[in-house]
Structure 1
Amino acid sequence: MNSDDNEQPADFVRLGARDNFYQSCAFLPMSFALVTSVDEGGETGIGPHALCFPFNVTEPYAMLLISRPGSATAANIRRSRRCALNYIEFDAGLLRSVTQLGYPGQSPEAKRKANPFRLRPSPQAAGQDDREFPQIIAEAVQVFECTWDDTMQVEMGPPAPGDPGTGKFVLRIDNILLKPEFRAGVEEGRNFPNLPIFYGFRARGEFWFAEHGKPFRIAAPAVPGNELRAVIYLANRLDETVRFSDAACRRLTDVPRPFLQTVLERIIAAAHQHGVVLVDEAFIDTVRRQRAGT
């Protein structure tokens, strides 16, 4: 794509791509994470980052974080390999403070004075040197505690002259923390947190945010022959340790969709009771016999 903005396809105005294209010539509504990391003195700092996305959605679970190579966050992760991704709810006053935490050129002291958040120790730090683990934000509704996996390279070319190191990090998820009042939103599709939407840093030198409306649902289409895939998808996302074989899932395709999760949760409970981590056809038969009293 060249820099000529004058060629206009029908019904569109053409924009030439430029640096930070996702906000300099486009509208991409995004979430953002407040990334906590530990500096050389053992102090936890906070850096807001919008370029933070799911990277690997099956084991090993991972996020991709893109930061300026010269940022304090990037330097801390390169040294300690640890960080935490903290997500807060919409609050216009707090968002004003958030913009003061990640602007390049600010001193660490200025950022500390601008910080409106309370920090608390990581649950992973219990019984260990807590200065190794970034503190987490008490006001966050969810937190991903992560470790950098540098075996997975995501650079698209050589580093720019003067860069101190990479700013692209594949972060393996060690721990997922969620405020209790939002657990039903994950498991049952209700009581969602009101997460802010970030529209980028625009040309006039302003950060743009939005608040979303109430989430609503649309049922997935019923596609003939897709029953097995639907069971596999649901069965293997309900529990941290118990997994279902494809053959076991095939045995459950005749369960009506409204009752499927209840049936799967009953099987998972039985698996925990018997120390089973992989549910196969034989275990499905065992559970069914127990339910039938035979």
Structure 2
Amino acid sequence: MSSFKDLRIVDNFYQTSSFFPMPTILVGTLDSEGRTNLGSYSLCFPYYIAGKDRYAMLLECRNNSNTAQHILAGSKVSLNFIPDDKKYFREAVRLGFPGDTTQEKMKDCIFTLEKGQAEGERPLVVKEAFQVFECTWNSSLEDAYLDKPGQLEGYEPPYRSFNGITSKFGAHFILYIDKILMKEKYWNTIVNGVKAAGFPPVPVDYGYRDSTNFWCSRFKKPFAEKIQAKEGDLNSVVYAAERIDPDVKFTKEACAKLTKIPRVFLKAALTQMVKIAKEEGITLIDEAALTVINDKRRKEKK
């Protein structure tokens, strides 16, 4: 007998038929007069994460919302990730209420807006955010540039599959990431080494439930679980390292420091190390050379 109960799947299943953890993001767009509009969204996730010429996010929203209409008209977006604070979440709920114009909703907004770092005319970014993605909608995918703003009562078919207007009231936007802006404390965590105290206080949004409340959980200190290197991993690293490039060799001691790299990522990591070694004129990667290479890899994050 199953320990689970079957639950009916209905519209907005992520919040009506399940518990799905989501971020709390203020999406900045520009209205027709160039003013920044903030809308609250949680259905925003990484889309292109590797292997492409650009990195991208996916935003899902109502196509008659201010946010969607502004993206269809102008393409520039800021994704502002707000930290765990009850007054911020309360304001995010207010900013997510449909129907208000940009002027109405932004009149008494408690968030501070400042200029971002990406080029061109763009929405301002939220100063209180712990990180911001400045993005551009890629309207060329699926010829989504053919979708135009103005249909506030819903769009008729045909619909796109994954980019632009995807249903009568739905839209998906593939947003290319132009800049990732990070507050200094968290920038240091990523660049100089991860510690529990260096994580931002990220709230978890559980959506709108029972047609009454938005639900959110408070941030707690994260913890780490080390990956234990398995016996025989050193031989696997040595075997892989010997086959990356005939002009660059790894010492056994250097390979021993790489045993915790998951096997699925090992070839890519070794290939990147060899590339940096060649740039630095290194033909034998020993422990000292590995330190130089890893320092350069860290600097490239900056």
Shorter-chain TM-score tier: 0.7 to 0.9
| Matched residue type, 1:77 | I
Q: Determine if contact 2:111/2:128 at 8 Å carries over to the other structure.
A: yes
> Which whole-Å deviations, capped at 9, do the CAs of 1:44-95 have from their partners, x for residues lacking one?
1101110100111114111111111111111111111110111111110111
Change (3 A) 1:185 1:40: same
1:28 paired with 2:20, answer yes
SS at match of 1:123: coil
Question: Which of the residues 128, 135, 146 maps onto 2:135?
Answer: 146
Match of 2:174 in 1: 170
Q: Give the unaligned 5+ runs of structure 2.
A: 143-159, 262-271, 290-302
Offset of 1:180 from its aligned partner? 0.6
1:104 paired with 2:108, answer no
Q: Distance in 1 between matches of 2:209 and 2:236?
A: 42
Q: Determine if contact 2:83/2:130 at 8 Å carries over to the other structure.
A: yes
Match of 1:73 in 2: 67
1:179 paired with 2:183, answer yes
Offset of 1:111 from its aligned partner? 1.1
Q: Distance in 2 between matches of 1:44 and 1:61?
A: 24
> Which whole-Å deviations, capped at 9, do the CAs of 1:168-209 have from their partners, x for residues lacking one?
111111111101111232231121000111011001420001
Q: Distance in 2 between matches of 1:66 and 1:249?
A: 46
Match of 2:215 in 1: 208
Question: Which of the residues 38, 48, 51 maps onto 1:46?
Answer: 38
Q: Determine if contact 1:33/1:87 at 8 Å carries over to the other structure.
A: yes
- TM-score normalised by the chain length of structure 1: 0.72
Q: Give the unaligned 5+ runs of structure 1.
A: 1-8, 232-244, 261-270, 272-276
Change (3 A) 1:92 1:227: farther
SS at match of 1:217: coil
Match of 1:189 in 2: 194
Change (3 A) 1:226 1:120: farther
Q: Distance in 2 between matches of 1:25 and 1:173?
A: 31
Match of 2:146 in 1: none
> Which whole-Å deviations, capped at 9, do the CAs of 1:90-127 have from their partners, x for residues lacking one?
110111111000112234333113421111112224xx
The percentage of counterpart residues that share the same residue type is 31
| Matched residue type, 1:113 | K
Q: Determine if contact 2:234/2:259 at 8 Å carries over to the other structure.
A: no
SS at match of 2:141: coil
1:85 paired with 2:84, answer no
Q: Distance in 2 between matches of 1:101 and 1:107?
A: 11
Q: Distance in 2 between matches of 1:246 and 1:148?
A: 38
Match of 1:133 in 2: 122
CA RMSD of aligned residues (A): 3.6
Change (3 A) 1:223 1:287: closer
Change (3 A) 1:94 1:159: closer
> Which whole-Å deviations, capped at 9, do the CAs of 1:111-154 have from their partners, x for residues lacking one?
113421111112224xx5xxx21111111110111111133347
Match of 1:6 in 2: none
Q: Distance in 1 between matches of 2:236 and 2:200?
A: 29
Question: Which of the residues 7, 26, 47 maps onto 1:55?
Answer: 47
| Matched residue type, 2:208 | F
Q: Distance in 1 between matches of 2:77 and 2:25?
A: 11
